[in-house]
Amino acid sequence: MTDGPFLRVLFRAHLWLSARLMPALVGRRDFESVLKLAPLRSPAPYRDLPWPYIVQRVNRTVRRPWLMRDRRCLREGLLGFRFLRMAGLDPELRFGVDTRSMNEPRLSAHCWVCLDGKPVVSDSQPGMVEIYRHPSSTKAPAA
């Protein structure tokens, strides 16, 4: 399927539905279970879509969250990672913590997505120390 109006409509509907289901899928799951929502292997039905278009649509789809307001970056990151993978790309989902929150009752964490080492969905924030990259190897398995 080549990039065209039908592919873009299909992509946008898939993204919209995934964004609406994400709060229920994430729920109060542990970190390992949440990472399963960012599969390393997936079909690539959106291979012909340019990555800037995918990132722009992800950002637009999640700009006014009703749910997951306190975990907005997680929703953006998971969706960005999944849909960039479905475009046949090798993104990294990165996680960091704010060192100033280490002694607080609630840890302050953040995630963002990188392509070729450059942030494309969100970015690291000041005071954040990166603690994990998904995938943790340099190259993800082929789809």
Q: What is the pLDDT of residue 90?
A: 94
Contact between residue 62 and residue 79 where contact means Cβ atoms under 8 Å apart:
yes
Four-residue CA torsion sign, 76, 77, 82, 86:
positive
Q: Of 3 and 111, which is predicted with more confidence?
A: 111
Query: To the nearest whole percent, how much of the chain has pLDDT over 90?
Result: 43
Closest CA to 53 of 109, 15, 100, 94: 15
Q: Residue 58 — very low, low, confident or very high, per pLDDT cuts 50/70/90?
A: very high
- What DSSP character marks residue 133? E
